[in-house]
């Protein structure tokens, strides 16, 4: 397993601040559901600005597994992917355990396979580091459209000759659940109303993608989505929108290192809660023609954050913003309301020298922290990003192990940060 070695520079040391321009890549959490939505088309779909991430490659493998032809176009630096679903009818229509346990987002093939091919068999995802992550809402929503659902031997089997439109109220706001049911309803017969849906930008982006394919969807981005089912959807050409969580992560890197970084193409309109928090902490955030410029101050102020469904503060930024809080003069309070176990980064940050106390779903963070480098273990995608951030401002060397977690959501993070002044190296097979 690879490891990252970071030679940190505590703020105030000469050359600490990250400086320069950083292009923001396509959003992982937009690409993955859109890769699934390509299954709905009757022809080839071409996706551009696709991030080069292991999760995207895993999804490409899953699409091939169910019978798609998937090609990553080499001369586009690997950022263009062509997906042709015309071979699926003879495919397995199954998302096997090995795939789903590697990447939970695999369950988002259920809706498209069921709607387009009348059948789907998907391994139950099981839990992951950050929580139990059930899919009950996905299944209830698909049943509301007429799907026959059976659960046995750890798999869910879904069947429907043709889905019929209906009304479904989500008991809980779920991004993946909203996306799965919306994709299925796009090809159902009749009208569907989905209430208490997720309002994340990636849900809006998926609705935009489906409408470009010929779907009739309105209300995405609001609590209620209306869908008039159609008989056929076509393959299209689409560019993936920039990643607000990647942009937020690198914004924190600029803020804690007293840097000055232009986050090129940053989707500012989807980042208000993140930007508001950075500004509350004392960072300067300037919207510029090319994106978002973030300038880190001499001193950071403490702040409070509660994670919420969009447009609230995103849970995917909780670990990273906690590092910002560790560098502030005073006590900050961070409450995680989306996942039941998303403080796995806290013990590792404390090993680096942070002073964070967790009580239930609330963390009290006291700063400023004089981080000192040591060996730490990544546990999940965003927790590992927070360890890299802390390593940037630690005295001495920080070794982050199991960086495969980072590679799931950040393209070659060392190649992105070194040009801005970070000192990072990757060692292949560098330890458990
Ligand atoms: C998406 O996961 C994202 N992943 C996650 O990002 C993100 O943290 C999450 O949304 C919340 O914003 C992708 O888009 C690929 P949910 P998803 O269904 O859809 C509970 C990252 O770091 N729930 O909105 O799986 C669930 O347990 C990843 O990029 C049910 O109870 O999240 C959780 O507590 C991590 N029943 C809450 O809802 C269900 O049927 C939100 O989960 C579904 C979900």
Q: Nearest residue CA, atom 38 of ligand 1?
A: 174
Do 269 and 169 share a structural domain? no
- Cα gap 10→331, rounded to integer Å: 20
Predicted confidence at residue 406, as pLDDT, reads 95
Q: For the chain, what is the mean pLDDT?
A: 95
Residue 372 DSSP code: B
What does the pLDDT look like over 336-348, one tens digit per residue? 999 999 999 999 9
For 47-69, how does the pLDDT look when each residue is reduced to its tens digit (9 = 90+)? 999 999 999 999 999 999 999 99
Residue 105 has pLDDT above 60, yes or no: yes
Contact residues for 74 (Cβ-Cβ < 8 A; gap 6+) = none
Co-location of 179 and 100 in the same domain: yes
**Total structural domains within the chain:** 2
Q: 201 and 286 share a domain?
A: no
Decide which of 239, 271, 295 is a domain's last residue.
Answer: 239
Domain boundary among 177, 211, 239: 239
**CA-closest residue to ligand 1 atom 41:** 174
Pick the last residue of a domain from 187, 213, 239.
239
Q: Give the number of the atom of ligand 1 that is nearest the alpha carbon of residue 245.
A: 29
133 pLDDT band, cuts 50/70/90, is: confident
The annotation status of 29 as a binding-site residue, yes or no, is yes
Q: Which residue, 307, 270, 273, 268, is CA-closest to 288?
A: 268
User: By C-alpha distance, which of 293, 401, 278, 422 is closest to 413?
Assistant: 422
Q: Has 216 been labeled as part of a binding site? A: no
Same domain, 163 and 201: yes
Name which residue sits closest to atom 8 of ligand 1, judged by CA.
Answer: 316
Pocket test for ligand 1, best of 128, 149, 169, 177 (most atoms within 8 A of CB): 177
The C-alpha torsion from 89 through 92 and 93 to 94, rounded to 10°, is 180
Mean pLDDT on 117-143: 90
Q: Which atom of ligand 1 is nearest to the CA of 315?
A: 8
Q: What is the DSSP letter of 430?
A: -
pLDDT in tens, 163-213: 999 999 999 999 999 999 999 999 999 999 999 999 999 999 999 999 999
356 is in an annotated binding site: no
Residue 381 alpha carbon, nearest atom of ligand 1: 22
Residue 66 shares a structural domain with residue 206? yes
Q: How confident is the model at residue 14 (pLDDT cuts 50, 70, 90)?
A: confident
The DSSP letter of residue 380 is S
Q: 198 CA to middle of ligand 1, Å?
A: 10
Helices marked H in 48-156: 54-65, 97-102, 110-117, 136-143
Question: Is a pLDDT exceeding 60 seen at residue 128?
Answer: yes
Known binding residue 104? Answer is yes
pLDDT band at 75 (very low <50, low <70, confident <90, very high): confident
Catalytic residue IDs: 128
Give Cα 243 distance to the centre of its chain.
8
Of 74 and 91, which is predicted with more confidence?
74
Q: How confident is the model at residue 77 (pLDDT cuts 50, 70, 90)?
A: confident
Atom 39 in ligand 1: residue holding the nearest Cα: 135
This prediction's pTM:
0.97
Same domain, 167 and 99: yes
Contacts of 186 (CB under 8 A, 6+ apart): 40, 115, 210, 213, 215, 216, 217, 227, 229, 230, 233
CATH of the domain at 390: 3.65.10.10
Gap from CA of 342 to ligand 1 centroid (Å): 12
For residue 46, give its domain range: 28-239
410 and 374 in a common domain? yes
Question: Does residue 16 sit in the same domain as residue 115?
Answer: no
Residues 344/383, Cβ–Cβ less than 8 Å: yes
Instruction: List the residue whose alpha carbon is closest to atom 15 of ligand 1.
Output: 29
Taking residues 290-307, report their average pLDDT. Answer: 97
Distance CA 12, CA 26 (A): 33
Whether residues 232 and 256 share a domain: the answer is: no
C-alpha of residue 175 to centroid of ligand 1, in Å: 6
**Which pLDDT band holds residue 431 (cuts at 50, 70, 90)?**
low
Q: Which atom of ligand 1 is nearest to the CA of 138?
A: 40
Question: Percent of the chain scored above 90 by pLDDT?
Answer: 88
**Spatial CA neighbour of 59 closest among 40, 43, 72:** 72
Considering the domain architecture, whether residues 16 and 58 belong to the same structural domain is answered as: no
Asked whether residue 34 falls in the same domain as residue 166, the answer is: yes
Q: Are residues 108 and 230 in the same domain?
A: yes
Distance 322 CA to ligand 1 centre (A): 20
Give residue 417 CA to ligand 1 midpoint distance, Å.
28
pLDDT score recorded for residue 430: 58
* pLDDT tens-digit series, residues 263-290: 999 999 999 999 999 999 999 999 999 8
Q: Is the pLDDT of residue 429 over 90?
A: no
For residue 432, is pLDDT > 80?
A: no
């Amino acid at each position: 397993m690879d490891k990252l070695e970071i030679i940190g520079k505590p703020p105030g040391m000469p050359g600490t601040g990250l400086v320069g321009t950083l292009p923001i890549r396509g959003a992982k959490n937009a690409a993955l559901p859109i890769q699934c939505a390509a299954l709905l088309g009757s022809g080839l779909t071409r996706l551009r600005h696709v991030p080069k991430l292991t999760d995207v490659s895993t999804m490409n493998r899953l699409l091939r597994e169910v019978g798609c032809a998937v090609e990553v176009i080499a001369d586009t630096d690997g950022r263009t992917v062509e997906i042709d679903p015309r071979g699926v009818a003879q495919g397995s229509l199954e998302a096997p355990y090995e795939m789903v346990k590697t990447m939970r987002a695999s369950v988002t093939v259920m809706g498209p396979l069921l709607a387009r091919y009348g059948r789907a068999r998907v391994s139950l995802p099981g839990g992951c580091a950050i929580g139990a992550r059930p899919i009950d809402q996905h299944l209830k929503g698909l049943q509301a459209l007429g799907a026959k659902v059976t659960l046995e031997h750890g798999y869910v089997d879904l069947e429907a000759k043709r889905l019929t439109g209906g009304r479904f109220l989500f008991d809980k706001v779920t991004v993946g659940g909203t996306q799965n049911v919306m994709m299925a309803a796009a090809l159902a017969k009749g009208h569907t109303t989905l209430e208490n849906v997720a309002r994340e930008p990636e849900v809006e982006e998926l609705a935009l993608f489906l409408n470009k394919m010929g779907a009739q969807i309105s209300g995405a981005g609001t609590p209620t989505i209306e869908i008039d089912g159609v008989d056929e959807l076509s393959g299209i050409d689409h560019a993936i929108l920039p990643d607000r969580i990647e942009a937020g992560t690198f914004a924190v890197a600029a803020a804690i290192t007293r840097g000055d970084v232009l986050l090129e193409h940053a989707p500012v309109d989807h980042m208000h809660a993140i930007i508001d928090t950075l500004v509350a902490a004392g960072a300067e955030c300037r919207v510029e023609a090319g994106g978002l410029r973030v300038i880190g101050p001499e001193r950071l102020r403490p702040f409070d954050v509660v994670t919420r469904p969009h447009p609230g503060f995103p849970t995917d930024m909780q670990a990273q913003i906690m590092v910002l809080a560790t560098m502030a003069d005073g006590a900050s309070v961070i409450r995680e309301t989306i996942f039941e176990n998303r403080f796995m980064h806290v013990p590792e940050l404390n090993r680096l020298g942070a002073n964070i106390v967790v009580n239930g779903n609330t963390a009290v963070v006291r700063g400023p922290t004089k981080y000192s480098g040591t060996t730490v273990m990544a546990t999940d995608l965003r927790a590992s990003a927070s360890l890299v951030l802390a390593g940037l401002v630690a005295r001495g060397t920080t070794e982050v192990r199991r960086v495969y977690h980072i590679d799931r959501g950040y393209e070659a993070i060392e190649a992105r940060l070194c040009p801005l002044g970070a000192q990072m190296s990757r060692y292949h097979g560098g330890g458990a």
